[in-house]
Amino acid sequence: MATMAAGLLAAANLQAAPLPGFVLTAQTQHFSFYSRDNQKVDSQKTERYLAQVEQLLGQQVEGRAEYYRYATAQELAAGTGTYAAGLTLAHSGQIHSTQAFHAHEIVHLVAGQMGNPGVFFQEGLAVAIGNEAKWQGKDVDSLARKAAGTKLSSLVARFDSMDADTAYAVAGSFVNRLIKTHGIAKVAEFFRACGPAGTNPAAAFARTFGQSLDEAGAAWAATL
């Protein structure tokens, strides 16, 4: 469920649409849906959920995004270079997914247009909202407990090197706590404060929430 905000993959091999072998199967106001091998897409549910997330975050997605439905993570890897159940290239307006409807990736699509606080916060928001603060069906707070003794700034910096289940649970738990404590509008404000280039998210965090990452992390860890 990676997000590639920088769109490096897009530059390499995802410029042409549709991808080879995919056929247009549905169109809504905000999406063109492509699939192959008769894989299903839930176009109406996807369109409705996008509108919900847009309203929640106060962010409209410009233009029409492309939703590519794959049968398996192996096929998605062959098409994008990333082995995952889903992948969103927010700047290219593309969702690649192994699911007919994929709430987590739709959150990435909207949030990716607000600003880039980095992968920890992008994944945290997608888990908190799209996965309803669960990971592999378990509550993220209980999964995150084992990381509670580590400084949050270190967890943010090490997101990519942690084992994925812990990383996603920790990020989801922390961002969910931010939403509960400060409200979703404040969290959206933080994303915007980081700008598209994502320069110095730690400073933007402190400006927005009035405390450092590690202060907020200690307060979060105490609740786990």
Is residue 144 within 8 Å of 224, Cβ to Cβ? yes
Two tokens at 67?
A: 């939703």
* Piece of 69-77, 124-132, 191-199, 200-208 that binds Zn ion (CB under 5 A): 124-132
| Contacts of Zn ion in 131-160 (CB under 5 A) | none
The CA-CA-CA angle for residues 191, 184, 139, to 5°, reads 105
Residue 1 near Zn ion by CB under 5 A: yes
Q: Give the span between the Cα atoms of 13 and 209, in whole angstroms.
A: 39
Two tokens at 201?
A: 């998210």
Name which position in 4, 26, 126, 216 contacts Zn ion (CB under 5 A): 126
* Piece of 37-45, 122-130, 144-152, 174-182 that binds Zn ion (CB under 5 A): 122-130
Residue 5 near Zn ion by CB under 5 A: no
Residue 76 near Zn ion by CB under 5 A: no
Nearest CA among 59, 133, 136, 122 for reference residue 89: 122
Residue 67 C-beta: closest distance to Zn ion, Å: 15
Residue 155 C-beta: closest distance to Zn ion, Å: 16
Q: Give the span between the Cα atoms of 215 and 209, in whole angstroms.
A: 10
* Piece of 18-26, 49-57, 117-125, 206-214 that binds Zn ion (CB under 5 A): 117-125
Q: Give the span between the Cα atoms of 169 and 189, in whole angstroms.
A: 23
List interacting residues with Zn ion (CB under 5 A): 1, 123, 126
